Amino acid sequence: MANQGSNKITKYRRPLNLNIGMIIFAVIFVYIVICVFMYFTSRHIIWYEVTAGTLSTNNIYKAVALRDETVVLATDAGYANYFAREGSKVAVGDLVYAVDETGKLSDYIAADSVGENTLSDADLNDLKTEIVSFAHSFDSASFSSVYDFKYDMEGMVLKLSNYNIVENIDSIQEAGLAGLVKQCTSPLAGVVVYSMDGYEELKLEDMTSERMDPKNYEKTQFLGNALIGLGSPVYKVSTNEDWSVVIQVDKEREQELLEAEYVKVRFLKNQETSWGQVETYTNEAGEIFAKLTFTNSMITFCNDRFVDIELILEDEAGLKIPNSSIVEKEFFIVPKDYVTKGGNSSNYGVMRETYEEGVATTEFVETTIYNETEEEYYLDDSTLRIGDYLVKPDSAEKYACSKRGSLIGVYNINKGYADFKQINILYSNDEYSIVQSNTAYGLNVYDYIVLDASTVSEDELIYER
């Protein structure tokens, strides 16, 4: 029993062995924890670098084209075969199409009796332009436009392939078709178009939002070798090079266009530009429409009722800043005669009247100038109070601080603290503003400003950028 008590084993506790490595690791770990805590609990100030630039505004519209168009009616019944190229100019008496009472003319053409017909480079370019335009404007929500495109392509290819038949009209007459094929000439001079849509006589005063919607638009395409009846529409002629496009606008844009009188327009189809004369109209429903009239390029868009355009308004160039940086601040407005230089530096300030033991004295109060007019300065209100009397240098005249005004500006942080800088906004959209550059109290290119002005206050120190 005694031996059993003497054999009791007591566990030895090892002492904590601290070394310099563990201490350094602990200090770094505590520092990281503190930094992470401060990062998630502190307010973060994001900066923005001022750059020179312009604003890109959304000035793209889908316009309705208005032209002087006359629909020509058929004088004979039969199968119509078109020979005048669509979009080409015809004079009075020029052959446009022929009416075949039996349908034999199409068989004659299909048999290559008139020889080969090779498309020219201009013809191929027309086809490529139509295909590219359709590819860019296609909307799956309006799948019916695929069929319109199909008919346009079929009609264009057929008319192009029939074009050289005009040069072989004598061989057609000799083929036994004389008397059965009647040549139909144009009664008007103008540009030939082989479609109609009911918009031919539309005027600015007839415009509604429904007519501006392509979903409500229907076009009838006149196809070659199609059976036509006496008096039915067979083609139309655009008789005037002057034409217009109509867009729907709001009141602000209407006023802007009316003030401009003439607006530069870019046609997205071919990227060409032209100047349009402005005219506006408001219908009974309060919808505002602007018409832009041109004196050229009608033949390019003679087959288009809806035209995508971009209004190229006056570009405002300057310093580009985000709208979230803009803030409004109040200042004291003081006559220039009361602002002077003094103190221990060449900084500007004012002489403020003070009283010591009932005796009036003056002290120099340094203040910052933020803007000026011909006769007054905008001074910082952090060192002045309403009711302070300012003494005019070398005079006994006094001025009581009471007049205040506000300025629009941003917080510049180049010096490590939030310094208000006045700006003059030239133009703005929903996200950015263009402000005037090279101003006496404003911003310069590559200045750093606070991205969100609501996150800082005047003269606040900025620890991070």
Among 14-23, 152-161, 194-203, the least confident range: 152-161
Q: Is residue 457 within 8 Å of 418, Cβ to Cβ?
A: yes
Q: How confident is the model at residue 112 (pLDDT cuts 50, 70, 90)?
A: low
Q: What is the pLDDT of residues 299-336, one digit of tens each?
A: 888 888 999 998 887 666 788 899 999 999 999 999 99
Q: How confident is the model at residue 142 (pLDDT cuts 50, 70, 90)?
A: low
Describe the strand order of the beta sheet including 69-73 as a list of residue ranges: 69-73, 233-238, 190-193, 89-90
Q: Is residue 269 within 8 Å of 307, Cβ to Cβ?
A: yes
CA gyration radius for the chain?
A: 40
Q: Is residue 325 within 8 Å of 431, Cβ to Cβ?
A: no
Query: Which residues lie below 8 Å from residue 156, measured CB to CB, with a gap of 6+?
Result: 86, 126, 127, 130
Q: Is residue 458 within 8 Å of 420, Cβ to Cβ?
A: yes
Q: What's the pLDDT score for residue 114?
A: 47
**Both tokens of residue 418?**
């939030």
DSSP state of 177: I
Distance, CA of 387 to CA of 402 (rounded, Å)? 6
Q: What's the pLDDT score for residue 438?
A: 81
Q: What's the pLDDT score for residue 312?
A: 82
Mean pLDDT throughout 84-92?
Answer: 85
Q: What is the pLDDT of residues 212-237, one digit of tens each?
A: 998 888 888 888 778 888 889 999 99
Q: What's the pLDDT score for residue 334?
A: 92
Q: What's the pLDDT score for residue 20?
A: 80
pLDDT higher than threshold 80 for residue 392: yes
**Both tokens of residue 44?**
């973060």
Tracing tokens 């100047």 back to the chain, one arrives at 275
At residue 39, what is the residue type? Y
> By percentage, how much of the chain surpasses pLDDT 90?
21
Average pLDDT in the chain: 81
pTM of the model: 0.54
